[in-house]
Amino acid sequence: MAQPRTRRPVAVRNRQKILAAAHEQITRHGPDAGMDEIAAAAGVAVGTLYRHFPTKTDLVAAVVAQSVAAVADDAEAACARVRAGSRALDEITDFFGRVIEAAATDQAVKAAARALGADPDHKATEDRASAALARLIQASQTDGDLHSDVTVDDIYLLFSTAPTDQPVTARARWLTLVFTGLTTHSRTTND
């Protein structure tokens, strides 16, 4: 029986450099970012880029998948901090803010994905994020900080309405207003 093929460390590093460069170039130039420019920014030969990602659609799908995985990893890390004693509401609020900021900076990547028809399957990763978010919500409800009827679907609905095209101050204000509706605490006039 053949052993599963493992990637050489150089290949793993090249793939990561390509993904980082693609994210940066697509953020700057949108769907028009060229494969040659991405390879140059990554410091790899164009052939190396194409060995990892045969088409631009494959590359953009991998960049989007990496972003979704980062959100799931972040949600799971927030759960770990709650288990270690951090306040669940603080972790949800911080997580929510990080997701909104990432979405604001990743708009060009999402536009490129739509333009190229890059639609990777992230169900398993999204399920990880949803499960972690459900644990955060439950912990915050147990603490009495979130209303008992708040669900993961509510949080996703709010994510989809975030003002990611607005300045950071507007996004921060939006977050304050949103959490006023989710939490059992009154908002002070200083918020």
Q: Report the chain (191 residues): mean pLDDT per 10 consecutive residues.
A: 64 94 88 92 95 92 89 96 97 93 81 74 88 97 96 92 92 91 76 49
pLDDT score recorded for residue 103:
85
Count of C-beta atoms within a 10 Å radius of residue 74: 18
Question: Are 74 and 95 a contacting pair, CB within 8 Å?
Answer: yes
The span from the CA of 13 to the CA of 129, in Å, is 26
pLDDT score recorded for residue 111:
75
What is this structure's pTM? 0.82
pLDDT score recorded for residue 22:
93
Q: Which contacts (CB < 8 Å, 24+ apart) does range 146-149 have? A: 146/88, 146/89, 146/92, 146/182, 146/183, 146/184, 147/182, 147/183, 147/184
Distances (CA, A) of 112 to 30, 119, 122, 191: 6, 11, 17, 36
Nearest C-alpha neighbor of 129 from the set 70, 46, 186: 70
Nearest C-alpha neighbor of 159 from the set 110, 66, 97: 97
pLDDT score recorded for residue 82:
98
Question: Are 17 and 42 a contacting pair, CB within 8 Å?
Answer: yes
The distance of Cα 42 from the centroid of its chain, to the nearest Å, equals 21
pLDDT score recorded for residue 190:
54
Q: Who contacts 191 (Cβ-Cβ below 8 Å, separation ≥6)? A: 176, 180
Count CA within 13 A, CB hemisphere, residue 93: 20
**According to DSSP H, which parts of 9-87 are helical?**
9-29, 35-42, 46-52, 56-83
Helices (H) and strands (E) in the chain, counts: 9, 0
